[in-house]
Amino acid sequence: MFPTCPRASVPSCLTMAATALTLNLAPLFLATPGWAQTDPAAPASAAQKPAAAITPAAIESAEYRDGDLPPGQSALTAKVQILLDRSGISPGVVDGWRGGMSESAIKAFQRRAGLPMTGRMDHAVWDLLHGYAGAPLISEYTITEDDAYGLVDNIPADYADKARMTSQGYTSILEKLGERFHMDDKFLTRLNPGKSFLPGETIHVTLPAKPIRATVTRIIVDKETRRVAAYDTKGRLVADYPATVGSADTPSPHGNHVVDAVALNPTYTYNPKRNFKQGENDRVLTIPPGPNGPVGNVWIDLSEPTYGIHGTATPSKLFLSQSHGCVRLTNWDASELAHMVKAKVTTVEFLDPGVSIADVTGVTVAATVTGTARSAAIGATRPPARGDRVPPQVAIAAPGTPVPATAPVDALAASLAEAGVTASTVPAATPVSTEPLVPAQAPMVEGEEPEYPSDAELHPTAPLPGTQPAAAPFPQSGR
């Protein structure tokens, strides 16, 4: 949730509020590689069994044969996740594991294509995804000294310790590059055995597309499937993201609302008199900005008081947690969306239980076709590619060609540079399986950091190392 401010001063005044960041997961999840995508209800023998080999060559050459994606972790699932990401249907993190987020992304992809929405891999989905496979999926990247700049030793749990820091920055090069290339840290490590992730090393990374640039005038939040769909003025789906939403006790809003403003790299104000008390902290604290901050590095303020759409410090946990009402996206997805919305124009609809995105957008499922007819139908309905908007010119290098060190930068910095923004704000411009698509076990809610409103002011946001300083102080509520 996000604190209120006088309506007359929105969007020029904002205050920050808390969000649940971390989660005390059961030992099953902590011991399971790639648990971010794995269905907690799945048998351990299926969920924990990794593929024999996941190498760059295996991902590039992976081919779909029949049936659903392989259980556990596989090169094929990693390839599908990369292609989904390029198509504008975010799978969350790329980790190679079949699970809730990947299956929800396939279902969203099927919805956009007018295919039966099973959430399962089939030949129609595979053929469509090939529209985004014309460029390499994996390339080499040489770690630079800049990648090691601005790191912090750790992110403490205590808010007083957080407030004494200058940044809630990345804790390692591995974490920084994982976010940059939309990869789970453990998957990035597995793709690069024996690497220490130090400057001078050359590693293999996935090649996601550039951020989408369009004007989003309608956002639909489906709390049941935990997907956030963004549409342009012509009603075309621009992007679709996995999200963490509220719980039954602290639900996300209902009905229709409007984007009020966007804050990049926001600070977070802890006020025990207004919301909760954390530990022995009994005074107002200002926690500095950064990707590991309570709301990640993006806040999209909604007209519904105290609510917003924001980033997260734990992108792998989107489907394993519940928020206290706000909508959490990965930092890179939140940054992309933040640059497409328009203040006082973009609407945000929270669907009622039992109502789907397909219901409110009039999506109809195409009749089942095969062979030549199916290929023709898919070719005619292929959606525009992410970034360049034509299928797809994503990469700049052939397989094995190093990616220039100047090309990829932090997701937020890249978005700011592309938009020409230097301030800390932007104008809020197969047979169907019986396995569940989402975890059957209710996600857990972290009790230490509920998203309650705060009446403290939002202080000017300090830029992270390596980003441009704000051109002007961030507007403060009540001043």
For 162-171, what is each residue's pLDDT tens digit?
999 999 999 9
What average pLDDT does this structure show over 150-174?
Answer: 93
Residues sharing a CB contact under 8 Å with residue 18, sequence separation 6 or more, in sequence order: 1, 268, 270, 275, 276, 294, 324, 449, 450, 451, 452, 454
Please give the pLDDT value at position 198. 97
DSSP letter (8 states) at residue 151: -
Residue position matching structure tokens 């001078």: 200
C-alpha closest to that of 346 among 248, 214, 244: 214
pLDDT band at residue 52 using 50, 70 and 90 as cut-offs: low
The three-state secondary structure class of 73 is strand
Residue 34 domain flag: yes
Hey, what are 479's tokens? Answer: 């001043």
Taking each helix axis from N to C end, the angle separating 411-419 and 331-338, rounded to the nearest 10 degrees, works out to 10
The model carries a pTM of 0.71
Check if 459 is active-site: no
Residue 127 domain flag: yes
Q: Does the pLDDT value for residue 209 go beyond 60? A: yes
What average pLDDT does this structure show over 42-70?
Answer: 76
Report CA-CA distances (Å) from 381 to 175, 366, 378, 384.
37, 11, 5, 9
Residues 166/427, Cβ–Cβ less than 8 Å? no
Residue 346 domain flag: yes
Burial of 281 (0-12, 13-18, 19+ CB in 10 A): middle
Check if 326 is active-site: yes
Look at 211-220, 352-361, 403-412 and tell me which has the smallest mean pLDDT: 403-412
CA distance 99 to 449: 27
CA distance 220 to 392: 26
Catalytic residue among 204, 257, 324, 326: 326
Residue 348 domain flag: yes
Hey, what are 93's tokens? Answer: 């993190």
What average pLDDT does this structure show over 100-116?
Answer: 95
The three-state secondary structure class of 60 is helix
Element (H, E) at 79: helix 75-87
Q: Does the pLDDT value for residue 45 go beyond 70? A: no
CA distance 115 to 8: 45
Q: Provide, rounded to the nearest whole percent, the portion of the chain with pLDDT above 90.
A: 49
Domain count, the chain: 1
Residues 409/420, Cβ–Cβ less than 8 Å? no
CA distance 84 to 182: 12
Angle at CA 466, nearest 5°, toward 186 and 89?
Answer: 45
CA distance 359 to 333: 24
Residue 1 domain flag: no
Residue 114 domain flag: yes
CA distance 174 to 185: 6
Residue position matching structure tokens 């079949």: 98
Residue 133 domain flag: yes
Residues 60/138, Cβ–Cβ less than 8 Å? yes
> Which residues form the domain of 211?
6-479
Residue 269 domain flag: yes
Look at 156-165, 237-246, 468-477 and tell me which has the smallest mean pLDDT: 468-477
Read off the amino acid at residue 196.
S
CA distance 35 to 191: 17
Report CA-CA distances (Å) from 382 to 21, 42, 152, 216, 317.
37, 33, 43, 20, 31
Catalytic residue among 310, 324, 339, 459: 310
Report CA-CA distances (Å) from 61 to 78, 133, 193, 381, 399.
11, 11, 20, 26, 12
DSSP letter (8 states) at residue 6: -
CA distance 139 to 118: 32
CA distance 198 to 174: 9
Please give the pLDDT value at position 408. 33
Specify which of 10-19, 194-203, 419-428 reaches the highest per-range mean pLDDT: 194-203
